[in-house]
Structure 1
Amino acid sequence: MTPVFPGLWRKIPAAASYQIRCLTGNLRLSSAVFYSTQSPSSDVTVNYSNGLPVITLPLPSRNERCQFTIKPSTTTVGTFLADIKKEDRGIDVVAALSTDHTKFSNSTSMDVLLMNDFKLIINTCMYHVQPPSRDKPFSPDSSEMDTIKTLVHSLYRALHQEEHQLKKEQELLKRRDSLKEQLQPMEQMKSMILTRSDAKTTRLMWNGLALMSTQGGALAWLTWWVYSWDIMEPVTYFITYGSAIAFYAYFVLTKQDYVYPAIRERQLLNYFYKRAETQRFDVNEYNRLRDEFAETEESLRRLQNPLRLGLPIEQLNEKE
């Protein structure tokens, strides 16, 4: 296909009956550009190789033909036209039109473009392209393609599963060793803080027992040696009622029953967090490392047991 040169137009008389149509409207081009057309054009061909369409077209700058292999399911018209301009820097205008001179958008799939005849404009040349007929458009979601993908995936897994397992096991072992190094100093600090907090909590429990024993002894002394029971009975009643109010206030504030093991655990955690803040012990970071270490141990256990390799973690936990 030979483009029309401006010099040839000067030889045509002004009164000639030729009518030159310039494509405008949807295609935003300069009104001074003219196109030489053939219908159909033999310069641009579409063939199928290994199931993929191959478009062969001429490059104006180098005067040579170039092939473009298209993936219809992923390639768009904009990508195809951009590839043409990248291949030849001398191309200023490139566009794809339908047979009724309607421009295709850049987001149109090449599978749609190749379903019917279309026109390809390169600089001042227009080519009428006739793709070979197909029974149905290419569909990557077809059941046949899904079956092939499944077979390829199964074959790859069978050939590389052992190698992948060994590589994954080495990565998990390195990750576990790294987590151990990070956790070791934190474990020592946590053990020290927990020991001191436990000792302080135990002292608090013994102090409570001592206070209750002292209170009981004082009430007995006042009842039998100082006053009579008639005088001390209202006193003991209000002391008991005040204790009931204190227990109820504890429930209102903590939303927990006044149970001694729960109280001791709560007080232990209170002392632990206070001392951890004083010692600059990051409890959140410690918990994150512990969770990550547990996940790594679980992954190693699953990886080293081939019978459980394909089972999800939820099923493993339920069986155990």
Structure 2
Amino acid sequence: MEKLKSAIDTRANTLVRRELWGGLGFLVVQTMALMRLTFWELTWDVMEPICFYLTSTYFMAGYAFFLRTSKEPSFEGFYQNRFSTKQKHLMRLHNFDIGKYNELRAKCSPSTTPNFDSLAASPFGHSPQHN
């Protein structure tokens, strides 16, 4: 079960990293398009309200993320949320019983083994916080 959990965690991490790189690509393309529109096609007087509403939309998306997940709308919070979602999906796909896994880990080493509900250790060097 350890090998399967490790493989699931590795795959979930890969999928989330791919999403994050895709998001960065989207933001780069969007910024280049806004620069092009601002300095060559249109003017700042036209683009200023567009950029304002775009920024407001991103703020509202961050606020909605917080309301939905009770996690800080940060890159780490987004990573943890997406990792947990991907991990749960992969566990269902591979018929991985997290309850049985936790039970076996507790029997093997009850005093030093953490209880994994669905999240693995964070790649940022500390364990994720649960609210």
User: Do both proteins adopt the same fold according to a TM-score greater than 0.5, normalized to the shorter chain?
Assistant: yes
CA deviations over 1:185-212 (Å, ceiling 9, x no partner) = x011111111111110110110010011
Question: What is the aligned-residue RMSD (CA, Å)?
Answer: 1.6
CA deviations over 1:141-181 (Å, ceiling 9, x no partner) = xxxxxxxxxxxxxxxxxxxxxxxxxxxxxxxxxxxxxxxxx
Match of 2:26 in 1: 211
Task: Tell whether 2:91 aligns with 1:276.
Answer: yes
Q: What does 1:304-319 correspond to in 2, within 5 Å?
A: none
Task: Tell whether 2:74 aligns with 1:259.
Answer: yes
Match of 2:37 in 1: 222
| Structure 2: gaps (5+ residues) | 114-131
Post-superposition offset of 1:294: 1.6
Post-superposition offset of 1:262: 2.1
**1:295 aligned to 79, 85, 110, which one?**
110
Q: 1:221 to 1:297 in 2, by over 3 A?
A: closer
The alignment of Structure 1 onto Structure 2 pairs a total of residues equal to 113
State the SS of the aligned residue for 1:295.
Answer: coil
Match of 2:62 in 1: 247
**2:101 aligned to 286, 290, 293, which one?**
286
CA separation in 2, counterparts of 1:232 and 1:219?
8
Match of 1:51 in 2: none
CA separation in 2, counterparts of 1:189 and 1:254?
27
* TM superposition score normalised by structure 2: 0.81
Which structure has the larger Rg over C-alpha atoms?
1
Q: Which of structures 1 and 2 has the larger relative contact order (alpha carbons within 8 angstroms, sep 6+)?
A: 2
Q: What amino acid maps onto 1:295 in structure 2?
A: P
Higher-strand-fraction structure = 1
* TM superposition score normalised by structure 1: 0.34
Post-superposition offset of 1:296: 7.3
Match of 1:67 in 2: none
**1:234 aligned to 49, 64, 75, which one?**
49
Identity %: 30
Task: Tell whether 2:11 aligns with 1:196.
Answer: yes
Post-superposition offset of 1:268: 0.9
CA separation in 2, counterparts of 1:192 and 1:256?
26
CA separation in 2, counterparts of 1:231 and 1:241?
17
CA separation in 2, counterparts of 1:219 and 1:285?
51
CA separation in 1, counterparts of 2:39 and 2:81?
39
CA separation in 2, counterparts of 1:198 and 1:292?
28
Q: What amino acid maps onto 1:234 in structure 2?
A: P
